[in-house]
């Protein structure tokens, strides 16, 4: 079960799994449900995978994610330290990770009060990056590589036209910072093809760190299955 959650976003190009992942939320949901409580080794792997949400741009479900982490931290000193270390790592990471983690920390006091968490768990809002940590440089503009991936993908005819149209639409979404129903239809049409979905996913890996707003739009508005799973995670599963 742990491996399934850790790898669920691999080879899921039709929903841009490498760009917009669902595995971390499934992992947090399993930990929060207590299903891994009797299996510390598995629980630790689940929570480690769940921490990846801290590296997403403006998660729409940030209050729920913060609640997961505060509840987990409130179950013991080791768990609190685990969450604190993850926060420190993210606060010493990319601009996106720093922004998301800072916003999450801003929610902690109210959530801790709501669930009657202890003082130590409440203190997660004050965690800072390690004093020895050096912030990474800004990511490079990867649009040239994005377009190169599209241009060199081995396809022809209608498939090539659909791929180029989807790539052009993605660039337009980035430039406009908005998305229309037509834009969504064009991208989803390409994602319906396994081959074109793979090409788009590979191309997007070149810009994911440089274009957080675009990734947010793709996640929240273009790939509806991802948002549905974010909002209503998973049902009971056997470990």
Does 44 fall in a domain? yes
Using one digit for the tens of pLDDT, what is the confidence trace for 134-184? 999 999 999 999 999 999 999 999 999 999 999 999 999 999 999 999 999
Is 239 a residue whose pLDDT tops 70? no
Does 226 fall in a domain? no
pLDDT of residue 235: 44
Domain range spanning residue 76?
Answer: 2-137
The domain total for the chain is: 2
Q: Which of residues 103, 137, 171 is at a domain's end?
A: 137
Does 221 fall in a domain? no
Does 232 fall in a domain? no
Give the CA distances from residue 74 to residues 64, 181, 192, in Å, rounded to whole numbers and listed in that order.
15, 43, 43
Does 114 fall in a domain? yes
The verdict on 109 and 196 lying in the same domain is: no
Average pLDDT over residues 192-210: 96
The verdict on 85 and 180 lying in the same domain is: no
The verdict on 123 and 30 lying in the same domain is: yes
With 0-12 / 13-18 / 19 or more C-beta atoms within 10 angstroms meaning exposed / middle / buried, residue 63 is middle
pLDDT of residue 55: 96
pLDDT of residue 238: 39
The verdict on 174 and 108 lying in the same domain is: no
Does 48 fall in a domain? yes
Using one digit for the tens of pLDDT, what is the confidence trace for 24-65? 999 999 999 988 878 889 999 999 999 999 999 999 999 999
Among 151, 218, 227, smallest CA distance to 191 is for 218
With 0-12 / 13-18 / 19 or more C-beta atoms within 10 angstroms meaning exposed / middle / buried, residue 58 is middle
The verdict on 60 and 128 lying in the same domain is: yes
The verdict on 161 and 122 lying in the same domain is: no
Does 7 fall in a domain? yes
The verdict on 85 and 125 lying in the same domain is: yes
The verdict on 20 and 84 lying in the same domain is: yes
The verdict on 53 and 159 lying in the same domain is: no
Threshold 0.85, pTM exceeds:
yes
Using one digit for the tens of pLDDT, what is the confidence trace for 60-97? 999 999 999 999 999 999 999 999 999 999 999 999 99
The verdict on 42 and 148 lying in the same domain is: no
Q: Which of residues 88, 121, 137 is at a domain's end?
A: 137
pLDDT of residue 228: 58
Q: Which of residues 107, 137, 167 is at a domain's end?
A: 137
Is 227 a residue whose pLDDT tops 70? no
CA angle 83, 20, 106 (to 5 degrees): 40
The verdict on 16 and 98 lying in the same domain is: yes
Separation CA 27–CA 36 (nearest Å): 10
Does 158 fall in a domain? yes
The verdict on 199 and 90 lying in the same domain is: no
């Amino acid at each position: 079960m742990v491996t399934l959650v850790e790898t669920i976003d691999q080879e899921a190009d039709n929903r841009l799994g490498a760009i917009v992942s669902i595995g971390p939320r499934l992992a947090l949901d399993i930990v929060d449900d207590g299903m891994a409580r009797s299996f510390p080794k598995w629980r630790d792997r689940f929570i480690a995978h769940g921490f990846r949400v801290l590296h997403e741009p403006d998660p729409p479900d940030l209050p729920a994610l913060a609640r997961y982490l505060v509840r987990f931290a409130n179950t013991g000193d080791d768990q609190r330290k685990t969450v604190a270390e993850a926060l420190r790592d993210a606060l010493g990471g990319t601009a996106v990770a720093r922004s998301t983690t800072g916003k999450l920390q801003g929610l902690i006091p109210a959530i801790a009060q709501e669930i009657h968490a202890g003082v130590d768990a409440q203190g997660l809002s004050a965690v800072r990056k390690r004093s020895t940590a050096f912030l990474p440089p800004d990511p490079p503009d990867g649009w040239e590589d994005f377009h190169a991936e599209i241009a060199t993908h081995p396809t022809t005819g209608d498939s090539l036209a659909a791929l180029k149209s989807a790539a052009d639409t993605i660039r337009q979404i980035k430039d406009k910072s908005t998305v229309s129903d037509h834009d969504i239809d064009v991208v989803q049409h390409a994602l319906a093809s396994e081959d074109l979905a793979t090409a788009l996913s590979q191309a997007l890996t070149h810009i994911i760190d440089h274009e957080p707003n675009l990734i947010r739009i793709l996640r929240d508005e273009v790939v509806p299955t991802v948002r549905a799973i974010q909002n209503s995670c998973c049902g009971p599963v056997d470990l």
